Amino acid sequence: MKIYDLPDKRGHFGPYGGTFVAETLISALDELCRQYEHYRNDVEFQTEFFQELKHYVGRPSPIYHAKRWSEYLGGAQILLKREDLNHTGAHKINNTVGQALLARRMGKRRIIAETGAGQHGVASATVAARYGMECVVYMGSEDVKRQATNVYRMKLLGATVIPVDSGSRTLKDALNEAMRDWVTNVSCTYYIIGTVAGPHPYPMMVRDFQAIIGNEAKQQMQEEYGRQPDALIACVGGGSNAIGLFYPYISEENVRMIGVEAAGKGIDTHEHAATLVTGRPGVLHGNRTYLIQDENGQIIETHSISAGLDYPGVGPEHAWLKDCGRAEYVAVTDDEALAAFHALCRFEGIIPALESSHALAYAAKLAPTLDKDQLLLVNLSGRGDKDMATVAEQSGISL
Amino acid sequence: MNRIETVFSQLKSQNRAALIPFITAGDPDSATTVAIMHRLTQAGVDLIELGVPFSDPMADGPTIQRSSERALKHRISLKDVFSMVAEFRKSNQSTPVVLMGYANPVEAMGYRNFIQAASQAGVDGVLVVDYPPEESAEWVRNLKEQNIDPIFLLSPTTPESRIKHVAELASGYVYYVSLKGVTGASHLDLHEVGNKVSQLRSHIRIPIGVGFGIRDEQTARSVAEQADAVVIGSRIVEEIEHSPAENLLANVGALVESLRRAIDAKSAL
């Protein structure tokens, strides 16, 4: 089959991706492209990256067979790629380790990051502490309220958290503000984007750092099950955990790839974040991709019970994988995600993140339609400790 | 000669720099925007940059962000912006109007529809902040076919090789962003601006405007000594934000008249 070699030199995945930013950032992005292009092929860099993933992050993360839950659902076997067991509790750290090592080689002592739920902010603050860098995290003031524990966690790690009061006061506005900081402090600052969005080379670079997930899975599946799964299932906000799992499998055409978006209160309401399922292509945050927007091209506020999926855009590679039909994208509601959250707690003794619960919810729908010898590999991208207050509130309990 | 070329060639013969104000379309409302445009021309501006409001104005500081939010409260769309320009053109055929904004509203309308509507409304130039030259080949070709000037930004971080590339694509004028930062910032280094403008002149044949961070008469005058045009946005938008409705036109007019005098004082030096 045709070798998959996207993006092109300027970061295009078909019509998506690219570099749609104001002039002041172009030279910084060009420099980042040059440096990344060098270090992605540098043995010493790659060796340090994998050493850090092994000894600091705790990789490889295991694949766990959710046997009791699979039996209860009565169909395909559900396997979980346990990214929740990583240091800091999610896949986000794979990327921040990679980018911090790059920033250090580029001589940047100050890193900035945007965060929604706070997981990427925590992962950035963590590596900043680990490598002795200054760290500033932008977070929508709504999210600062919703995620107080993560805000405190970042502060403990020595980061400065700046609440963002513009727009909808959520992740997209935090990203806008981080971009503004970067424009202003471009010579001394490295911007760690947390997902596979933003201008080139971020979607490619973040994908490459997250591809450890799929690369490990391929090897583990072969060793432990003697074959590859029938389908991969991962939640998609910006899409970094999903692309990390999918990317190494793109050429394995008999493995289905299913991205699960947040349908919030339902895709027929205005309160959801199902960008690929309901959106239209446009340009935001430096790349061309699907967006949730009104007829005039204004970005619409999104909703999801999971702050990490509450984003009106999506990585451009997912946009391309959707259009060319290689991956399927579906959406599950807040309620379906919550039901899967509780099921995993009760059947397997694992408290999943609400983001990952979206992938679990779709697995729970799909599994009963398949034979018992089929294998579904679900990316359990994060643990749910950060979501205690949200889940308790849904059950009418105040902690 | 189109309106932009005409204005700059007249100014050149008078040894004067252009004064270019920026306001956001629909701030505080559509009718007032057209009235402000007329008041600006009375106050002696040479060209008007009209901002198209966008929900996520990444290159703008808080002042222009708020103006966008005010306009979007009235759901101002590109169609409304074109209506404002057409309304302005009913009684003003000479002052060029340049639309300035972000890519997504243009993408939502489609290149061709956008350019056709802009041309019909009497728009002279378009600056899309997040369409850098690398992503703009087709966009520029389509604009030029309709005799609309593609205006591009240059910044303190633009290397020489890119200046040449922009010089090939741009027409009308280029807009030099005088500092690393967002609109409305206040750490302008006039000496550095002077050096960079001289460097730009060796590659760029069309007029060079300078903007971002110009907030007072003295800075405006100093910039006018170096550049062909002085662009002032946040300071004027602030005046619109803080003026009570009944004094808005008078306040904006008075502010711009004082800036005009400061800029013209350079040629009297």
Q: A286 and chain B: CB distance < 8 Å anywhere?
A: yes
Give the separation between CA B221 and CA B227, rounded to whole angstroms. 10
Q: Report the pLDDT value the prediction gives residue B252, as an integer from 0 to 100.
A: 98
Whether A92 sits among the annotated catalytic residues: the reply is yes
Q: Kindly report, residue by residue over B28-51, the tens digit of the pLDDT.
A: 999 999 999 999 999 999 999 999
* Domains: count for chain B: 1
Q: How far away is chain B from the Cα of A166, in angstroms, using its nearest Cα?
A: 8
Q: Kindly report, residue by residue over A85-97, the tens digit of the pLDDT.
A: 999 999 999 999 9
List the domains of chain A with CATH numbers. Answer: 12-53+92-206 (3.40.50.1100), 58-89+211-394 (3.40.50.1100)
Which residue in A92, A172, A322, A386 is the catalytic one? A92
How open is the CA angle A338-A339-A340, to the nearest 5 degrees? 90
Q: Report the pLDDT value the prediction gives residue B268, as an integer from 0 to 100.
A: 60
Q: A19 and chain B: CB distance < 8 Å anywhere?
A: yes
Give the separation between CA B193 and CA B231, rounded to whole angstroms. 14
Q: Bin B239: left if φ > 0, else alpha if -120 < ψ < 50, else beta.
A: alpha
Burial (CB count within 10 angstroms: exposed 0-12, middle 13-18, buried 19+), residue A97? buried
Q: A368 and chain B: CB distance < 8 Å anywhere?
A: no
Q: Kindly report, residue by residue over A28-87, the tens digit of the pLDDT.
A: 999 999 999 999 999 999 999 999 999 999 999 999 999 999 999 999 999 999 999 999
Domain extent, residue B44, equals 3-265
Give the separation between CA B4 and CA B149, rounded to whole angstroms. 8
Give the separation between CA A136 and CA A149, rounded to whole angstroms. 17
Q: Kindly report, residue by residue over A331-366, the tens digit of the pLDDT.
A: 999 999 999 999 999 999 999 999 999 999 999 999
Portion of chain B with pLDDT greater than 90, in percent: 91
Q: What is the CATH number of the domain that holds B162?
A: 3.20.20.70
Say whether pLDDT at A368 is over 70: yes
- DSSP secondary structure letter of residue A59: P
The helix/strand/coil state of A178 is: helix
Q: Which residues of A touch B161 (CB under 8 A)?
A: none
Q: Kindly report, residue by residue over B107-136, the tens digit of the pLDDT.
A: 999 999 999 999 999 999 999 999 999 999
Say whether pLDDT at A316 is over 80: yes
Kindly determine whether residue B155 and residue A24, on different chains, have CB atoms separated by under 8 Å: yes
Task: Give CA separation, A228 vs A67, A82, A220, A236, A254, in Å.
Answer: 18, 17, 9, 22, 9
- Minimal Cα distance from A291: which residue of B? B104
Query: Which residue, among A19, A24, A291, would best test binding to B if mutated, counting the most B CBs under 10 Å from its CB?
Result: A24
Q: Report the pLDDT value the prediction gives residue B267, as an integer from 0 to 100.
A: 61
Q: Report the pLDDT value the prediction gives residue A148, as an integer from 0 to 100.
A: 87
Which of B31, B32, B22 shows the shortest CA–CA distance to B53? B22
**The pairing of beta strand B97-101 with beta strand B125-128:** parallel
Whether A114 sits among the annotated catalytic residues: the reply is yes
Mean pLDDT across the stretch A235-260? 98
The ipTM assigned to this model is: 0.95
Portion of chain A with pLDDT greater than 90, in percent: 92
Query: Which residue, among A296, A299, A300, A311, would best test binding to B if mutated, counting the most B CBs under 10 Å from its CB?
Result: A296
**CB A59 within 8 Å of CB A93:** no
Q: B107 and chain A: CB distance < 8 Å anywhere?
A: yes
- DSSP secondary structure letter of residue A57: I
Q: Which residues of A touch B157 (CB under 8 A)?
A: 23-28, 186
Give the separation between CA B106 and CA B78, rounded to whole angstroms. 8
Which of A330, A341, A332 shows the shortest CA–CA distance to A391? A341
Q: Determine the angle formed by the axes of helices A334-348 and A354-366, rounding to 10 degrees.
A: 90
Kindly determine whether residue A20 and residue B130, on different chains, have CB atoms separated by under 8 Å: yes
How open is the CA angle B233-B231-B88, to the nearest 5 degrees? 75
Q: For residue A27, what are its two tokens? A: 């030279």
